[in-house]
Chains A and B, each alone.
Chain A
Amino acid sequence: SAVISQKPSRDICQRGTSLTIQCQVDSQVTMMFWYRQQPGQSLTLIATANQGSEATYESGFVIDKFPISRPNLTFSTLTVSNMSPEDSSIYLCSVPTGLTEAFFGQGTRLTVV
Chain B
Amino acid sequence: GENVEQHPSTLSVQEGDSAVIKCTYSDSASNYFPWYKQELGKRPQLIIDIRSNVGEKKDQRIAVTLNKTAKHFSLHITETQPEDSAVYFCAASIYGGSQGNLIFGKGTKLSVKP
A residues sitting closer than 8 Å to B (CB atoms) are 31, 33, 41-45, 48, 59, 92, 94, 96, 99-107
Q: How large is the interface on B (under 10, 10 to 19, 20 to 34, 35 or more residues)?
A: 20 to 34
User: How many A-B pairs with Cβ below 8 Å?
Assistant: 51
Bound: A63/B23 CA distance, A: 31
- Contacting residues of chain B (93-114) with chain A, CB-CB under 8 angstroms: 93, 95, 99-107
B34 contacts A102, C-beta separation under 8 Å: yes
A-contact 0/1 string along B27-45, CB 8 Å cutoff: 0000010100000001111
**Would you call A48 and B43 a contact (CB within 8 A)?**
no
Other A-B pairs beyond A59-B1, A101-B95, A104-B44, 20, CB < 8 Å = A31-B100, A33-B101, A42-B89, A42-B104, A42-B105, A43-B102, A43-B104, A48-B99, A48-B101, A96-B100, A100-B46, A101-B49, A101-B93, A101-B102, A102-B34, A102-B46, A102-B91, A102-B102, A104-B43, A104-B45
Contacts of A94 in B (CB 8 A): 102
Q: Mark B1-15, 1 if CB is under 8 A from A, else 0.
A: 100000000000000
With a cutoff of 8 Å between Cβ atoms, the chain B residues found around residue A33 in the complex are 100-102
Within the complex, the shortest CB–CB distance from A17 to chain B, in Å, comes to 25
In whole angstroms, how far apart are the Cα atoms of A94 and B44 in the complex? 10
